[in-house]
Structure 1
């Protein structure tokens, strides 16, 4: 049985028929792998989920082994048919009782198991193999989802980078302090040597004066010959010592943590959108920092090569409710992508089309043309953006009812080129990206970190004009209509 399991296709659980070999090393029946790729819309391996861009090759060695095994089984079956007989009725065992989980012969089915559910022996074996393979595949998927060790390793790697940065920052600041101390010491030594030379010169003058006669010596003055008085005269004042020789403590310690944090921003960027790896299709690759995604599947050169459904997208990990939220996606030279927002759609089929009716609002680029998910109308731009800014904000219709809108801008020239209004409120909207060009990633652009002072509002409150924009417009139109009516009545009265 172990050999038969090794010679069985993981998809159909039957002995290999025309086996083919994928690039990942797994083998399948040619028909099984073609059917799997047709149904899943991607060329991934059913076992390891690795994408196979190349056509599978025939596994001649495995095919010869299966043929040899079938010949041996046929010979053994003829020999063992007589042994597989019912011990009670002496008939050939060819049925399986699903109620009692026992093998049966036709006589057992007629008598002891007449009211039980039965199936053929071959069908029962095939069903059990598929169940075992499903359990094995589910276990592999669970191991892939619960990637605790991989996540732990990434966390340690990130903190290792932070520790290395802090160590280098500490060493740099200690070097700066030592250099400051060295300069201060050099100034002190230079000033001290100058004072010592001055004192030495003055002492020599006093010694020369002491060689004169007593009257001359007394005329010069004993006070000036005092060694203590001379040292006191040429000693630095305390204030001058403080400014010239003391280390600038405020320079090295003032806002030390903030300065380190400010320098750390270069290696600790903030991303407004973090991709959710659990929503990533098998043929998509998400970076370790969860900020970029790449399609590994080759796109055919034809319009709408990829199906427009949520099985091809990657969601952001956080949804946005009320307020204004902005993020930028670097699309580079990619000519095929979709960006937008959507409602979380648990429990819905992954093949549902991307439309506002299903909770999707977005912009698609297909070659040189752009279009909204809500309408087939296409348009072009003079300059194709390399970085697209997506902005989700509150909006009000003409009746003053609260809703939301999504706008798209060229971040390079700060120019809005598309807008979607009428997005319903009341539920969180999740950003999503859909790369459609192979090996061309879509990246979330980091934003500079900002310091929020105590009491400062991160999001400004909407002004009266913004809050009642729709109602104000309605009132303006009513006033204009009244003025037109009054003007018309006045003209008729004059006539």
Structure 2
């Protein structure tokens, strides 16, 4: 739009520099002079007199004429706006938007050779079209911002849980060490330092990741804020800034990364703890071939006895980290296998519902699945306390004279065999034959219980340890 003002230009022109006033000051005589012009004049003259009438001013600093300053400033803005809204080639109003070149043009430009065959629209119509285009892209950025904020919240919870988990591990370690404190104080302190170092390291990792995602959120928030501000601008201003605005819509921020293995490695700190100190204390030695991984345990599972025992219990407030199984009440062993022969014996006790065996590392951990080899499971289980099943496709009922109390699981990775043996009489219960191409982990599911509070335990039986010194 053209510049409009009710003040004659000569009334807002400095008598010294003959330009529009810039910070005009009011002299004692009533004349107004640009402050810079006045001080330069006084320095050149060597006398504090008015450049217009010559009246000498007092020794104080002349005040700024705010009213005149505001009028002059508004006049400059109107002149600049008027200049921006006109074609630089033809000095005509910019009423057309060229979609091919993405710029405003005048009516003369429209019929010129340069734009004659281009797709053009009136300013109002083009502005509406571009607003819709920008709004659609803005929605994508807003959804990405929402994802980042949700991820940040989860990471904040994970950071807090790491501290809690570290504290729980520390407490468990101290309880175990009470039995040997007289002899093993140095060993205890060493282990606590390792735990503390891991806690600090992983807290630092989460702090850096949280700082990074906060920066991404701030950057994206700033971008969205600027785009929203651009959408509120006048049509002319929006279209003039269209190229720059559209470029800012091209967000380079990717999806939040999936953080694996960030929780405290409880298996390292608590797994077979007494076995680790066995070299110094031979009176109490307990070693199990498989240690349970609490970072994979479903929310209702309780692990105990140096992570060798699991049972259903009350629900716990745990982070839904990548490794955790939430589709079934189950837990994996802390160590997986990619070769060799391995075996472990499980005391299934008097439980009425349970499953034991092995599972692939790539199993679905968050969605509902079937316990079958096709889904990455080679397990057997007891149902309703009276039926033993092999989870084949379809599942197969196994003969059972009496419920087994202890079952040995034998894994032969190279031969693709998972064998289940009744530990009481060494008779085979079932054998799976398949081909393994990735890491497999021991699998345990104690099932639910009648009162929904606690189930019968699944316990990994300790191995017989013999000490021989030569």
Instruction: Report the TM-score range of the alignment, normalised by the length of the smaller protein.
Output: 0.3 to 0.5
Which protein has the larger Cα radius of gyration, Structure 1 or Structure 2?
1
> Going by fraction, where is helix more abundant, 1 or 2?
1
TM-score, scaled relative to structure 2:
0.43
